Amino acid sequence: MTALQEHARSYFEIRRALGYKLVKSERLLGQFLHFMEAEGEEVVTTELALRWATSPADAAEQWWAHRLGVVRVFARHLANMDPRTEVPPNDILPERSRRAIPYLYTDDEVLRLMAAAAALSSPLRAATFTTLIGLLRTTGLRVGEAIALDRDDVDLDEGVLLIKNAKFNKSRLLPLHETTTAALASYARQRDRLCRHELGPSFFITRSGTRLQYCIAYLEFSRLLDRAGITPRSPSCRPRMHDLRHSFAVSTLIASYREGVDSEGQIAVLSTYLGHVHPRTTYWYMSGAPELFRLAKERLEVSTRWDR
């Protein structure tokens, strides 16, 4: 193992200890280090990093920027141990965020989605997707967290979900509303009655009794959107399954403003419930919600008048 590879190993150990997974970054950085080795170079320089990052000449500039960004972050770490290291300046191929505008589902749209799911020809598939959509909307779970649930993770007696090894390797317990618990219990009974195959540990299953995979869920959800007549609001605001999470977060914050609950405290609670590392991530969920901005503005105006 070369000195640079040893530094890279230590670098990923440190960052993973902070909760980052970095699977793609580790692969890209490994490719860069192999490139340096082939070039006979032992010191990271801006010229080397830029030449490697832009080596697929027909790639998109955003991809070049991402590749260079991986090297840039590593170079900052490496410069603490090897002062010869050059850190590529931020203004060279800067990464530009292309985050999608959240599609905030109305209650009517969610009901239409669930009705479309309930009309699927397979009773088991209908039960699975009706319940999955309802769970995502009422808890704000990530799709991956929901389909990763095992039976033992769903405590129907206590009304609690155990979310294991989620994003940033964090686990958490989620208390459920009694209506959500009842819906999950109803699904569990239907699932066990309708599935004719040997059941594995997964809570949400396919017709063959296996765990529901993300690609299957994504394709079926796309079909359900069409059947429910839900279309994009703009080229950058398209309905996605993940937006059920955004809708939950925004509706929770709107309810807190209407009820006069301390918004700062509610953000902290919601951040924990959603499994965010920092509340600032939760604040981003406020984007694209005019009613939420209006309520926040009204709260601020009232607070300002009292301070005078």
Catalytic site positions: 142, 167, 242, 245, 276, 285
DSSP per residue, 178-194: HHHHHHHHHHHHHHHHH
DSSP per residue, 197-225: S---SBSSB-TTSSBPPHHHHHHHHHHHH
Under DSSP, the state recorded for 168 is: G
**Coil/strand/helix, residue 238:** coil
Shortest CA distance to 144 belongs to which of 252, 255, 245? 245
| Joined tokens for residue 291 | 């009613």
Distance of alpha carbon 231 from alpha carbon 181, whole angstroms: 31
Shortest CA distance to 291 belongs to which of 265, 267, 257? 257
Single-letter amino acid code for the residue at 307: D
Q: Are 285 and 243 in contact (CB under 8 A)?
A: no
Q: How many CB atoms lie within 10 A of CB 301?
A: 10
Length of the chain: 308
Pairing assessment for the beta strands 172-175 and 160-163 based on DSSP bridges: antiparallel
